[in-house]
Structure 1
Amino acid sequence: MSSKAILGEEINKETESLYKKEKKLGEGTYAVVYLGHHIKTGRKVAIKKIKLGNMRSGLDMSAIREVKALRELRHPNVIELIDVFSHKTSLNLVLEFLDTDLEIVIKDKSLVFMPADIKSWMMMALRGLDHCHRCWLLHRDLKPNNFLIASNGQLKLADFGLAREFGDVKRAMTSQTVTRWYRAPELLLGATNYTGSIDIWAMGCIFAELSLRAPYLPGASDLEQLTTTFRARGTPTEDEWPGVTKLPAGYNFERFPKPQFSDLFRGSSDDAVDLMNKMLAFNPVTRIGASDALQHAYFRSLPRPTAPAKLPRPAQNIADVDVETADGGKKRQYEDAFDDMAGNGIETAAAARDRLKAEPAAKRADLRISSPA
């Protein structure tokens, strides 16, 4: 072994010795997340242990991408990567510990949201996303439980396991990315050349979910996801979205009229509805960007965004929940912990999926356009 390799191994062991794991917070197919602390300072941290497989499996490349992304993304609204160390066949990411997330907040029916609260969360989320896009990085997995919240109320974008650099329009990327309910229609139709507009669509869905306190476009399959989207937004035409009929998945869908979008969001201001519409534009080219979204009249109009420290917070956080096993599905950071909170009256992700699957397809498709509740 070379002297350089020996030095690297010593540094790695020294880094590992700085941290102590306390308990498991969640487990997924590729990673386990632990609550831990820095031994000397006592600072709480989250230690994400990524299970590494054969280099050809792609798992290692995903881990490398996540580390690379987090090292480059230093921003108040992006989770901080503190340290990295390896142990046997795992790579451990030491991240700042954030004790709750946006999904928990949305599902906690004891919390009351004001328009100023939603504006504050959206502003912080878009600032983090704008920074990613300025660094030519797609997140590709935006959803409420990937926005973690610090004890001071700051919202931070997390989980960059699916992140990918973009900029070369000729380079193909997979369309099988982003959790289905937040997946842009061009991805559902098989597009392999895309930009930050796919993240903006997901942000539009999150904006709607904050307003409805329920998922805006829940589909049980890719086909149902498209049908649900077209029922809620109207079936797009070539005039509205040039090239839509030429996307790989083909285009032969029932014609749904465009409903009055504002009828669903009666509690939202005209500016909020306008921004939401611009984020959920079918044509990726005309879909608003993160930077322009932050300059939208919505953020300049009253009420002013709530100060982060004054935003609603749930009584129970991730660290209070012990989770020992996964449910067998592919979980992202901390998601198992959320599913263990049903005892507090929070509808879990699994329960929501089961409830939606049990309902007739037509009812599921109409669910988000028939009632603002």
Structure 2
Amino acid sequence: MYTKDKKVGEGTFAIVYVGRQAETDRKVAVKMIKVNEFKNGLDMTAIREIKFLQEMRHPNVIELLDVFVADGNINLVLEFLPSDLEMLIRDRSVVFSEADMKSWLLMMLRGVHHCHRNFVLHRDLKPNNMLLAPDGQLKIADFGLARAMALTPYERMTPTVVTRWYRAPELLMGARHYTGAVDVWSLGIIFAELMLRVPYLAGQTDEEQLEITFKALGTPLPSQWKGVDALPEYRKFSTPRHPAPTRQQLQELFSAASDAALDLMCSMIIMDPIKRVTTDEALLAAYFRDAPAPTRTTELPKKS
């Protein structure tokens, strides 16, 4: 038995409550999926979220504790995590160091690496889906847009996934087949946001998002990214052509970043998804070997 003590969030298809497990008095989050909002019964996104959370057991992935049905609605019982990375980024009273950022990025990469190793794309990585436990552990949440990786180039997927500011250029240009590189792009943009303390690429529409991305990182050419000109939205935004930023321009923008931090960030947000680093490669980056060492999770900054 679980109580639903306080509503903390609501979307079209789900309401999230803070509650307690009656037997242990453990604080939990209860995500109630409103089945009657779906025209043809339970939507595939809800089924996928349950399936993937049951499979994705990892220290850096939120834990699904239970699933139950009440009043015709499916309820997911999740571990309760009091804050998220977005809260820390926005709270200027919270000061964090390179070692802190290194620790958070390392945990994000480990969680996503676990997903990719199990052939799962998250497809909605952003700071407020990076939840923080009281012991400092970061856990990836919200698998509502997750799906199994396409096993062949002929398996088509929707490009309208990932919150706009963290959406990879291949998705913005309408790619129907893509890989774990879309998640790596999102992590690279989150890493940039950690360093800047403001969103890096913040468009108000999908069209503006693509324009901002090209202005910031350069318009990709077919000679640099094979097949980019075949993507549905490419020609609309291929002119005027914007040059890629110089190293000096990046160093001026990310003034506190080390060379190793810039190298890793740039490798995660390469335009061509085939050239983008994988989570395996990112975890082996010099950035994580260089001083300072990642902060211990118990010593990471917390929301004031």
- TM-score w.r.t. structure 1 length? 0.78
In structure 2, what is the Cα distance between the partners aligned to 1:230 and 1:127?
A: 29
Give the equivalent residue in structure 2 for 1:257. 243
In structure 2, what is the Cα distance between the partners aligned to 1:313 and 1:54?
A: 37
CA contact (8 A) 1:49 1:93 kept: yes
* Partner of residue 141 from structure 2, selected from 135, 152, 158: 158
The answer to whether structure 1 residue 267 and structure 2 residue 253 are counterparts is no
Structure 1 residue 59, shift from structure 2 partner: 5.2
Structure 1 residue 282, shift from structure 2 partner: 0.5
Please tell me whether Structure 1 or Structure 2 has the larger radius of gyration of its CA atoms.
Answer: 1
The answer to whether structure 1 residue 313 and structure 2 residue 299 are counterparts is no
Structure 2 residue identity aligned to 1:191: A
Structure 2 residue identity aligned to 1:310: E
% same residue: 55
The answer to whether structure 1 residue 114 and structure 2 residue 100 are counterparts is no
Structure 2 residue identity aligned to 1:82: L
CA contact (8 A) 1:49 1:92 kept: yes
In structure 2, what is the Cα distance between the partners aligned to 1:56 and 1:192?
A: 25
In structure 2, what is the Cα distance between the partners aligned to 1:159 and 1:182?
A: 15
CA contact (8 A) 1:200 1:279 kept: yes
- TM-score w.r.t. structure 2 length? 0.96
Map 1:272-287 onto structure 2 (within 5 A). Answer: 272-287=261-276
Structure 1 residue 55, shift from structure 2 partner: 6.0
CA contact (8 A) 2:10 2:16 kept: yes
Give the equivalent residue in structure 2 for 1:75. 58
CA contact (8 A) 1:78 1:158 kept: yes
Map 1:83-94 onto structure 2 (within 5 A). Answer: 83-94=66-77
Structure 2 residue identity aligned to 1:115: E
What secondary structure does 1:314 align onto? coil
Structure 2 residue identity aligned to 1:23: K
The answer to whether structure 1 residue 204 and structure 2 residue 204 are counterparts is no
Structure 1 residue 262, shift from structure 2 partner: 2.4
Say which structure, 1 or 2, has more relative contact order (CA 8 Å, 6+ apart).
1
Map 1:173-188 onto structure 2 (within 5 A). Answer: 173-188=157-172
In structure 2, what is the Cα distance between the partners aligned to 1:76 and 1:205?
A: 23
Q: How many residues align?
A: 298
Structure 1 residue 89, shift from structure 2 partner: 2.8
Give the equivalent residue in structure 2 for 1:235. 219
Alpha carbons of 1:263 and 1:98: their partners in 2 closer, same or farther (altered >3 Å)?
Answer: same
Alpha carbons of 1:275 and 1:191: their partners in 2 closer, same or farther (altered >3 Å)?
Answer: same
Structure 2 residue identity aligned to 1:283: D
Alpha carbons of 1:58 and 1:201: their partners in 2 closer, same or farther (altered >3 Å)?
Answer: farther
In structure 1, what is the Cα distance between the partners aligned to 2:157 and 2:36?
A: 22
In structure 2, what is the Cα distance between the partners aligned to 1:250 and 1:127?
A: 33
What secondary structure does 2:261 align onto? helix
Structure 1 residue 263, shift from structure 2 partner: 2.2
Give the equivalent residue in structure 1 for 2:28. 45
CA contact (8 A) 1:53 1:60 kept: no
CA contact (8 A) 1:54 1:60 kept: no
In structure 2, what is the Cα distance between the partners aligned to 1:51 and 1:270?
A: 48
In structure 1, what is the Cα distance between the partners aligned to 2:117 and 2:40?
A: 30
In structure 2, what is the Cα distance between the partners aligned to 1:30 and 1:55?
A: 8
CA contact (8 A) 1:153 1:311 kept: yes
CA contact (8 A) 1:116 1:304 kept: yes
Gaps of 5+ in 2: none
Structure 1 residue 35, shift from structure 2 partner: 0.5
Structure 1 residue 38, shift from structure 2 partner: 0.9
* Partner of residue 96 from structure 1, selected from 79, 89, 94: 79
In structure 1, what is the Cα distance between the partners aligned to 2:135 and 2:26?
A: 15
Please list the CA deviations of residues 81-134 of structure 1 after superposition, one character each: whole Å capped at 9, or x if unmatched.
000001123110000000100000100000111000000000000000000000
Structure 1 residue identity aligned to 2:167: R
Q: Detail structure 1 runs of 4+ shifted over 2 Å in the superposition.
A: 53-60, 260-263
Structure 1 residue 28, shift from structure 2 partner: 1.1
